Structure 1
Amino acid sequence: MPSRTRSAVVAAVTAAALLGAPAAATAAAPDAWSAAPAPGGAGAGSSGRPYFYLEGAPGTVLTDKIAITNPGAAPRTVRLRGTDADGAGSAGRTGGAGHDAGAWLSLASKTVKVPPRTRADVPFTVTVPADAVPGDHPGAIVVSGDGRQAGVRLALRVSGPTLAALSVEDVRVTGRGAAARIRYALVNHGNVTLTPRLAVSADGVFGQVLRRPARTLPVELRPGQRVRLSEKWADAPSFDSVRVELTATAGGGAHATASADYRALPWGWAAVLATGLCLGGAAWFARRRRRRAPPPAGGPAGEETGEREELAGTGSGART
């Protein structure tokens, strides 16, 4: 790394950032370093920033700083890298930089040694390609050291037309009774990150069996992402034919609905019904077989005598 860049990183170290922290408590926690957006950046308020938010047109270069704070009594060395975000609750992928925001991000230093009770502000740049697609390109800066890893989210938006589009797919119900679960998939077909809300309803032969109003799901969908989710249905009916309907919405007007059929039949009732069908089928078959069976040869003695008497009487009448 050029000496000027290293000097800039060292100059960004703010000494005694945590003078009020007890030395004994920090000395007992060797992994107490933390990472966050540096104070005073874009969108920073009195309470600081929970993540980076940068926006620019294709071809622009955006800048910001990440702060590494060491409240302990010993120096800490951490490593930094940019990565694409995974969009499923984690700040970044565990693999390489990726091909999107992670590949566009460049850190002034990838290894930083932070003195005790000090904060190091590390500059970085995001170079948006000239052919970048408008919309959201989530990324993260991953910091690792002392046997642990943490990520700081980067919400990057490339200026241009945006589209919010969402679909609900593969809806089904698995399990029975208290073990029933409603399973489904959400797909982001647009170019902006979505925080979906989901409403669930179910109506059976005997009326309404489930109503869950729309609530925000604990997931963010990046553009093009598909996630599989499920939720418990502990009071699912044990004897009914139900239509389950899921409605997902998100900012920007995204809206989607999908449904699936669920038929519940208790094992006891199923066994009784199966037994009844088997017995009824056997009885019907036996009756039909008796009707089609030919009379036995010779017949009973009484029938034979009666038939002969009738013939004899007919013959006598002919003679008379």
Structure 2
Amino acid sequence: MRLLAVIATGVALLGAAPAPPAPTPGTPSAPAAATWAVAPSTVKGPNGRPAFTYKLDPGATLTDHVAVTNHSSRPLTLHLYASDAFTTAQGGFDLLPGDQQPTDTGSWVRLPRRTLTIPSTSRLIVPFTLTVPNDATPGDHAAGIVASLAATTSDAQGKQVAVDHRVGARIYLRVTGDLRPALWVEDLRVRHTGSLNPLAGGTLTATFTVRNTGNVRLTGRPALAVTGPFGLGRRAVDAAALPEILPGGALTTTVRLTGVPPLFRLTATAAVTPAAVGDQVLDPPPAVDTARVALWAVPWPQLALITLIALAGWALVAARRRRARQLARALAAAREQGRTEASRDSQQTSGPPPSLPL
């Protein structure tokens, strides 16, 4: 098992790695508080560059310098090498593992030595050359120069684990030629989560991959829009800008949109607008890419509320009808009783006819 530290950028302390308590024989050792830094440099020392940034023609060669500084109170023996960079799925800048051979910019860098022993609180300036092959493809290429400390330690289960503590500086190389900046949206997955409140909309969650299909490192701004049938209930949101994506790299991002009404059948559209990294100029601007999916959003709380309202209305109407029938029966009974009493009173008032004298 191999654990890799993240490659950082800058001229200050780029990273630090504690040495293992008990390294195996033959493994470079360092004190527990071992810290070191890697930065672009001149022959006199670091010169403030955040990264090695070049623009070269195919076949060109240049010489530059890297400074490796030991901030520890004891000597450090470090492994120095260059390797290709890639974009992690989370959008980070990382390099190939130390035991994997580079095939791009990392293989174009030549260092005079691979192992450095640096005295305590000291710095070494190491020259290197970068030679661009004649058949190098146009566009951006990325790599890094790394100073690593390999060691072994034990995990929680007592197993031996190889740990490669790496600190490095980035290399950004642009090979002259035609530039084709482009980002592509793929693998769009969307779900709608309804709200228990029937008067509120739900949440639309879209997860998708943004792939750099061009030859220029790019950032981008993702967006999400949703509509119901016939364009009803349209809502949209712009998400935060993405980290840089190297050519050929990809990252996965998630965008959420709240207050989305559940209109049974929704259409969700994810888009990403490519943007330049730093002070680059993209002329003409690359096209916006989109992906679209349809999904069901059944308004269960709303249907339940409508059902309750319908049942309440039906119960109210039924109660009114029942009361009306009872009132009608009562009125009919009262009328019948009145007629009966009137007939009885009439008979009592008239009495039998008077008798005639004989």
User: With structure 2 as the length reference, what TM-score do the two structures score?
Assistant: 0.59
CA gap 1:29/1:69 in 2 versus in 1, 3 angstroms: farther
Q: 2:237 aligns with which of 197, 212, 234?
A: 212
Give the structure 2 partner of residue 254 of structure 1. Answer: 286
Contact 1:81/1:97 (CA < 8 Å) preserved in 2? Answer: no
Q: Does the Cα contact within 8 Å between 1:82 and 1:140 map onto a contact in 2?
A: yes
Question: Structure 1, residues 243-262: CA drift from partner, whole Å, max 9, x if none?
Answer: 22222122321221222223
Q: How does 1:193-204 map to 2 (within 5 A)?
A: 193-204=217-228
Residue of structure 2 in register with 1:71 after alignment: 71
Secondary structure at 1:215 match in 2: coil
Q: Which residue of 1 aligns with 2:157?
A: none
1:113-136 Cα distance to aligned partner (Å, 9 max, x none): 111111112211111111111111
Contact 2:190 2:204 in 1 (8 A): yes
1:149 aligns with 2:166: yes
1:97 equivalent to 2:93? Answer no
Task: Give the greater-gyration-radius structure (CA).
Answer: 2
Counterpart for residue 171 of structure 1: 188
Structure 2 partner of 1:34: 37
Distance in structure 2 (CA, Å) of the matches to 1:120 and 1:170: 47
After TM superposition, give the deviation of residue 39 of structure 1 in Å.
5.1
Aligned to 1:21: none
Separation (CA, whole Å) in 2 of partners of 1:164 and 1:83: 24
Is the 8 Å Cα contact of residues 75 and 120 (structure 2) preserved in structure 1? yes
Q: Which runs of 5+ in 1 are unaligned?
A: 1-16, 19-26, 274-320
Following superposition, the deviation at residue 164 of structure 1 comes to 0.9
2:223 partner amino acid: A
Contact 1:54-1:62 within 8 A present in 2 as well: no
Identify the match of residue 207 of structure 2 among 163, 171, 183.
Answer: 183
SS in 2 for 1:102: helix
CA distance in structure 1 between the aligned counterparts of 2:259 and 2:82, rounded to whole angstroms = 45
- Deviation sequence 1:260-286 (CA, Å, 0-9, x none): 22322256678999xxxxxxxxxxxxx
Q: Tell me the residue number matched to 2:156.
A: none
**Structure 1 residues 55 and 40, CA gap change in structure 2 (3 angstroms):** farther
Residues 196 and 213 (structure 1), Cα distance of their counterparts in 2 relative to 1, 3 Å cut: same
Kept in 1, the 8 Å contact 2:87–2:251? The answer is no
The CA distance in 1 between the partners of 2:135 and 2:84, in whole Å, is 18
What does residue range 1-320 of structure 1 map to in structure 2 within 5 Å? 30-38=33-41, 48-88=48-88, 89-94=92-97, 95-145=99-149, 147=151, 148-174=165-191, 176-177=193-194, 181-204=205-228, 206-209=232-235, 211-213=236-238, 215-218=240-243, 220-233=244-257, 237=261, 240-250=264-274, 251=276, 252=282, 253-255=285-287, 256-265=289-298
Higher strand share: 2
Cα pair distance change 1:263/1:198, threshold 3 Å:
same
C-alpha distance in 2 between matches for 1:51 and 1:215: 25
Normalised to the residue count of structure 1, the TM-score between the two structures is 0.66
The Cα offsets for residues 126-148 of structure 1, whole Å up to 9 and x where unpaired, read as: 11111111111111122211652
Shift of 1:32: 1.6
SS, match of residue 72 in structure 2: coil
CA contact (8 A) 1:91 1:152 kept: no
Can you list the C-alpha shifts for 1:170-215, whole angstroms capped at 9, x where unaligned? Answer: 2221463588631112222221111222222223355133x32363
After superposition, the Cα gap between the structure-2 partners of 1:268 and 1:73, relative to the gap in structure 1 and judged at 3 Å, is same
Instruction: Using the TM superposition, give the Cα deviation of residue 227 of structure 1 relative to its aligned residue in structure 2, in angstroms.
Output: 3.3
Residue 328 of structure 2 is matched in structure 1 by none
- Cα–Cα, structure 1 residues 100 and 146, in superposed 2: closer, same or farther, change >3 Å? closer
1:147-170 CA distances to partner (integer Å, 9 max, x unpaired)? 521232110111122111222122
Query: C-alpha distance in 2, partners of 1:234/1:141?
Result: 44
